Amino acid sequence: MRSRSIPEPGLTTLGNLDLFERLGEGGRSTAYRGKREGRDVAIKVYKDLALAKHLRKMGGNLAEFEFERNRSFFQAPGLAPYVAEPIDCLVTDEYSAIVQELLVGDLYYFFRQKRGAEAVIELRPHLERIVELAHAADLFDLDMHSLNVMVVEENGTAIPKLFDFNLIPFHVRPPNPIVALLLTLGLLNPRSRDRRLLRNFDRAGKRHRKLLRYFPGS
């Protein structure tokens, strides 16, 4: 169940999907704009190394993991308006991919650059609400930073939306024995990372600048 080759838009179809445009690339996958049964969609195709790494850490397939996590967020009370709709999960011997609602807008990082700091003040309550609703549903480690949130205009209102769900939550698989012990003793809260990222959300650190090379036109 590997993605033996990353498809090129216009040259490859995946099942009943047509790929038209490369939207961006991350360490684990490449995202495309495509069409499924007449509907414009986003298609995320996973890289071999990411699939192997996830299998080693968690067992199972990364595409299936992200699809189920995406669905958990979408179905959580109150969160659907802030989450890309999960549509399908495709796992074959040739590729692993998920299909999501196509979000048309700007990544928060670029939205802030275009509109200025004052323009994103209105987004802050939405970001806080996302974290609040996710935690109420026992969903943690949103990996919420300025290149993982899409800002979409809906009826004249800017709405932040989540679309990336492939991070394994640290409370599910602690990165080291010390973190595992702190979680077991109740000295580290699963909510802590989300709260820290939310506090620092508007700070573009080294990680963000490194990720920019994956986005066309950045």
Which CATH class, in words, describes the domain spanning 13-101?
alpha beta
Please say whether the beta carbons of 41 and 101 come within 8 A.
yes
Q: Give the pLDDT confidence of 153-163 residue by residue, as tens digits.
A: 998 899 999 99
The pTM for the full model equals 0.86
| Beta bridge mates, 44 | 31, 98
198 contacts: CB under 8 Å, gap ≥ 6 = 127, 128, 131, 144
Question: How would you class 161 by CB atoms within 10 Å of its CB: exposed for 0-12, middle for 13-18, buried for 19 or more?
Answer: buried
Query: Which residue shows structure tokens 């609602």?
Result: 101
Q: Check residue 186 and report its DSSP letter.
A: T
For 9-18, 162-171, 179-188, 202-211, which range has the lowest pLDDT when averaged over its residues? 202-211
Q: Give the pLDDT confidence of 65-114 residue by residue, as tens digits.
A: 999 999 999 999 999 999 999 999 999 988 899 999 999 999 998 898 88
Map out the domains of the chain as residue ranges. 13-101, 106-208+210-214
Please say whether the beta carbons of 62 and 1 come within 8 A.
no
Report the amino acid identity of residue 192: S
Please say whether the beta carbons of 98 and 88 come within 8 A.
yes
pLDDT value for 218: 39
What distance in Å separates the CA atoms of residue 88 and residue 101, rounded to the nearest whole number? 10
Banded model confidence at residue 6, pLDDT cuts 50, 70, 90: low
**Mean pLDDT of the 111-123 span:** 85
Report helix angle 124-136 to 192-199, nearest 10: 180
**Mean pLDDT of the 150-173 span:** 93
